[in-house]
Amino acid sequence: MTLSIQNIIPILKADFVGKNDIAIVDFISIDSRSLQNSKSTLFFCLIGPNNDGHNYILELIKNGVSNFVVQHIPKNLENKANFLIVDNTLLAFQKLAAFYRSSFDFPVIGITGSNGKTIIKEWLNFLLSPDYNIIRSPKSFNSQVGVPLSVLGINEKHNLGIFEAGISTVNEMENLQKIIQPTIGILSNIGSAHDEGFEDVGEKIKEKLKLFSTVDILILKKNKSIGAFINPKIKTFTWSSDDGKADVFVIATESKDNTELKITYQKLCFKIWIPFNDQASIENAIQCLMILLYLNYNHEVIQTRMAALFPVEMRLKLKNGINNTTLIDDSYSSDFQSLKIALDFLESQNQYKKKTLILSDIFQSGLTNEELYSQVSHLITSNKINKVIVIGETISSFKNKFSNCLSFLSTQKFINQIDKISFENETILIKGARHFHFEEIVSLLEEKTHETVLEINLNAISHNLNFYKSKLEPLTKLMVMVKAFGYGNGGFEVAKLLSHHKVDYLGVAFADEGISLKTAGIEVPIMVLNPETTSFASIIQHKLEPEIYSIKGLTAFLKIAEQKKLKSFPIHIKLDTGMHRLGFEAENLNELIAKLKENKTIEVKSILSHLATSDDMKFIDFTLSQIKLFEELSSKLMNELHINPIRHILNTSGISNFPQAQYDMVRLGIGLYGVSNDEEEQKYLENVGTLKSIISQIRTIEAGESVGYGRRFMAYKQSTIATIPIGYADGISRLWGNEVGYVIIKNKKAPIIGNVCMDMLMADVTDIDCREGNKVIIFGENPTVMEIAKKINTIPYEVLTSISQRVKRIFYRE
């Protein structure tokens, strides 16, 4: 889009303060961290429960942005940029998107429901793209900000839109309807997602149906309960497998690897085959079929295209690569909108200074190739990509637009030359359209490890972070603990994400953890909680900040600080208020004050203590006594030393249970990783880590035969046994064996039988239809680490941190 500030002012009904109302805008942004922000960006300063875009205006101005939509102008910035002042920046953002959408007149498919929206959208894009220039929501951009961002990507060459809309409570869909303005509607499955935002299912259905208030046709599975809420003026096109009154009657016959659909529509009766046999995929495929029927596709085309449907990969995956590289695997899609998202993700997770992009031909931009690849070139330059490898006949013809570029006409030609190309100490984004089979490139560049993986959901970490941030006072700072390899979830990758979210501090247990993060490029201040005196020199060298908890430790640090002629080096003073683990007690305070007084080599950056029972309200009096003592001791230090440091005492449980003691900062630990000691709070957290493996071998044993060391399992009947390549060397407790625990295979529980071995465990799959190579869930949504911890009489911390580093971590963003 290209508009002038003059054009935008009346659309938003904004008051203008600035010097250049004829400035041209060609990029809309809501993310201050995006490298795509530039002089021609219009930045909307959105205000959320955890962030305020107004706080980043000065930083953006320094980076060249000069146009802002705001609710107020920050102090001293009045004459430094163009400001469009509105009552509500989110509504203004949506209003601009709705105006922009109204300037185009072509069919738009709007999709909503509880499940399946993104898959239906992606499949429709595949099915219809041979005949249309399609604009669609990138990834799962279906929220109050995702939808306007998607719609603002429309250009003059598009002739079909496919947008999804998601809501979590009432009074949200009306805004999205004004932005999408669908002409064709699809209502997918109605399930339990976001039930908490509605009084009942009826209210949820009514709210979702608002998306279709002006459609020409609404496609849905025939359902009396839903039909009762549909405005009779809306024309429907229905399907069913059990109601002969539906417009389209479908009989599904499932087999091992696919499903036959027998379709009866008007005078037509024909069959199609789809390569899925699960119920959710079958229903999503039928919704797509209905669109093809509505658009009058003949059944031969429908048969051919539906048979080619594929699993939709909705994740950006972060993997370890060969030669000290990091791979970002986005090898199943290639369009301009998703390229922008992938490049932003690259920046948020970039471990190395060197950045490489492997990119295929790009499809469905709606632009001429010249226009498209000029924009791609500008995007790549903005994101400071060091090396570009383009694959495909079309993009190769534009290789001169990219600096430091290698080109190959096909994936195979690149693979044939891959050994001659140097990949080391860099982050590599691999992004290609499905038929380029870039998964083969990922396989060649990925570090080879065994088939057990711990998948880390970065979206869930962000969600949990924001959940706890929502509990904080506006000025309360946040330290996040990434010790013990990020509670087993990966140290650097989690730290990089937290840096992206602008947390105030990171906390590690030992110096080597902090050194590793600093060496990898983490710039957020890092506090070392348990520093050994032998590590003080390294702490100083790498600009870490030590926690000091004893006179001996303070004396040793001051000696080194004086030798190195340091000035105001930050340290953190730990007080023991009842944990009796580490820290200065009341009787040590006078000696501590004497040593710190007039000492210019160090600066007391913070004073902290640790609560022993913040998770157990039986000990509320003890916790309150700790808080009271902390107030007394820290106040004495501050008064005697005439300092005003950060004070902090609350851990994860303390944040929820003792909000009155937030002081200047809190420390978030295991809550970030989706674990709470409070059952009610647990409902609001998302699972972060899912430990997966595969079935290595399946065998049948007879009654009386045994399994594993010590013959601890004896079969009492003929049984089918699966061997899974994960054991206690990977972090699985032996207490979880011998039918105490279980794994999940094909959504069914398979008891773990016999002793857990060092590298393997065995499960009884007698009643499960499975085969070698099938996926196995060790923990995640089910069983949870909380359940495992409870059954083996330990704590979730131990379950998580026990997962060894030989288990490959795969980080992904939905």
Catalytic residues: 483, 709
SS3 224: helix
Contact 672, 464 (CB under 8 A): yes
Residue 599's SS3 state is: coil
* Close Cβ partners of 145 (under 8 Å, ≥ 6 residues apart): 30, 46, 90, 93
Backbone angles phi and psi of 466, in degrees to 5: -65, -30
Six token digits for residue 650: 């609350």
Contacting residues for 78 by C-beta, under 8 A, at least 6 apart: 17
Element spanning 176, H or E: helix 173-180
User: Coil, strand or helix: which one is 221?
Assistant: strand
Q: How far apart are CA 155 and CA 109, in angstroms?
A: 16
> Which is nearest to 547 in space by CA: 672, 667, 670, 627?
667
Distance (Å) of CA 55 to CA 150, 463, 768: 25, 21, 55
- Return the amino acid letter for 569: F
Q: For the packed helices 299-306 and 117-128, what is the interaxial angle rounded to 10 degrees?
A: 120
Residue 694, H or E segment: strand 689-694
Ramachandran angles phi, psi of 502, nearest 5°: 60, 45
How far apart (Å, rounded) are the C-alpha atoms in residues 568 and 605? 9
**CA end-to-end span of the chain, whole Å?**
27
Cβ atoms of 727 and 760 closer than 8 Å: yes
Measured on CA atoms in the order 346, 349, 355, 357, is the torsion positive or negative?
A: negative
- Cα–Cα–Cα angle for 383, 427, 509, nearest 5°? 110
By residue count, the chain amounts to 814
Tell me the C-alpha distance between 38 and 764, whole Å: 59
Type of residue at 361? D
Question: Contact 528/539 with Cβ under 8 angstroms?
Answer: yes
CB 322 within 8 A of CB 446: yes
Comparing CA positions, the residue from 736, 731, 734, 652 lying closest to residue 489 is 731
Which of 432, 386, 389 lies closest to 414 in space, CA to CA? 389
b (16+ CB within 10 A) / e for 581-592: ebbbeeebbeeb
Contacts of 144 (CB under 8 A, 6+ apart): 90, 94, 172, 175, 176
The first and second tokens of residue 599, run together, are 């000492």
* Distance separating alpha carbons of residues 696 and 452, to the nearest angstrom: 11
DSSP letter, residue 471: T
| Residues contacting 711, CB < 8 A, separation 6+ | none
Whether the Cβ atoms of residue 477 and residue 665 lie closer than 8 Å to each other: yes
The rounded distance, in Å, linking the Cα atoms of 736 and 734 is 5
Give 716-771 as a DSSP string: SS-EEEEEES--GGGT--GGGTTTT-EEEETTEEEEEES---SS-EEEE-TTS---
Rounded CA separation 573/575 (Å): 7
Q: State the angle between helix axes of 620-641 and 589-596 in degrees (0 to 180), rounded to the nearest 10.
A: 30
Instruction: Give the CA count within 13 Å in the CB-facing half-sphere of 582.
Output: 17
